[in-house]
Amino acid sequence: EAGVVQSPRYKIIEKKQPVAFWCNPISGHNTLYWYRQNLGQGPELLIRYENEEAVDDSQLPKDRFSAERLKGVDSTLKIQPAELGDSAVYLCASSLGGVAGALRTDTQYFGPGTRLTVL
Amino acid sequence: AQSVTQLGSHVSVSEGALVLLRCNYSSSVPPYLFWYVQYPNQGLQLLLKYTTGATLVKGINGFEAEFKKSETSFHLTKPSAHMSDAAEYFCAVSYSGGYQKVTFGTGTKLQVIP
């Protein structure tokens, strides 16, 4: 079974430029998460989707960040414009969610991440 | 609010020695607790988790952790360290319910010395 796929793996851009990250979750997983991991820190949740609905985006800086999951499968996270402080690893994770997820601990499976460097 | 504290951002052990990574949690409701491992340039991989029941939890790669409610701890141990265990380890807390927001600690980087 394929894991969570993310691309690109690395991205270097200049500040004020836009950037986008793509995530394809594990097949059958209804819940999708985007996390940001700063150097030396644990991941911090940016947004969570249940199918195509963003059910928790309270930590997403909405002035410059946006995300979508139009068909309830893969997702895109965008930053426009990027700032120096956005340099971090952006992790995507997925879990079963839905009824199946509610019946047991809904383990999150992480992708390898995209390492963003803003110059 | 829930949180975890990992004591020691860096831990060094000799190959074959006991690995002990410390985690204390704060949660106003019964917690779910997790340990994840992150190898360089990779995502997080679940090592083990505690939800309910037996307080000693066994995970992959010979790791185990014990939930101690009285000490609000969930320390990770392995009897004998291997070189391949060198990685960063994250403790995380959540709680029971349909939606479980997971809060991660700041991580402990494990170095294994040959």
Written as one string, the DSSP assignment of A61-113 is: -TTTEEEE-TTSS-EEEEESS--GGG-EEEEEEEE--HHHHHTS----EE---
* pLDDT higher than 60, residue B17: yes
Among residues of chain A, what percentage have pLDDT more than 70? 92
How close is the nearest chain A Cα to the Cα of B21, in Å? 15
Cβ atoms of A93 and A111 closer than 8 Å? yes
* pLDDT higher than 70, residue B3: yes
For residues B93 and B81, give the distance between their C-alpha atoms in angstroms, rounded to a whole number: 25
Confidence at A49, pLDDT banded by 50, 70, 90: very high
Q: Which residue of A has its CA nearest to B52?
A: A105
Considering only CB atoms, which residues of chain B are within 8 Å of chain A? 9, 32, 36, 41-46, 49, 51, 90, 92, 94, 98-102, 104-107
* pLDDT higher than 70, residue A47: yes
As a whole number, mean pLDDT of residues A79-103 equals: 86
* pLDDT higher than 90, residue B10: yes
* pLDDT higher than 60, residue A93: yes
* Maximal C-alpha separation, chain A: 45
Mean pLDDT value across chain B: 91
CB contact under 8 A, B90 and A106: no
pLDDT of residue A99: 66
* pLDDT higher than 60, residue B98: no
pLDDT, greater one: B2 or B72: B72
Q: Which residue of A has its CA nearest to B95?
A: A105
As a whole number, mean pLDDT of residues A79-83 equals: 96
Nearest to B43 among A55, A91, A101 (CB): A91
Question: Which residues neighbour B12 within 8 Å (Cβ) at sequence distance 6 or greater?
Answer: B110, B111, B112, B113
Nearest to B46 among A4, A55, A107 (CB): A107
* pLDDT higher than 60, residue B36: yes
pLDDT of residue A100: 59
* pLDDT higher than 80, residue B114: yes
* pLDDT higher than 80, residue B75: yes
Ramachandran area for residue A97 (φ above 0: left; ψ -120 to 50: alpha; else beta)? left
The bridge status of strand A5-7 relative to strand A19-24 is antiparallel
* pLDDT higher than 70, residue A39: yes
pLDDT of residue B52: 82
pLDDT of residue B27: 78
pLDDT of residue A104: 57
Confidence at B28, pLDDT banded by 50, 70, 90: confident
* pLDDT higher than 60, residue A61: yes
* pLDDT higher than 70, residue A18: yes
Cβ atoms of A37 and A89 closer than 8 Å? yes
Cβ-Cβ contacts under 8 Å, B9 against chain A: 40
Confidence at A105, pLDDT banded by 50, 70, 90: low
**Residue in B99, B101, B103 to test binding to A, most A beta-carbons within 10 Å:** B99
pLDDT of residue A4: 95
Cβ atoms of B37 and B87 closer than 8 Å? yes
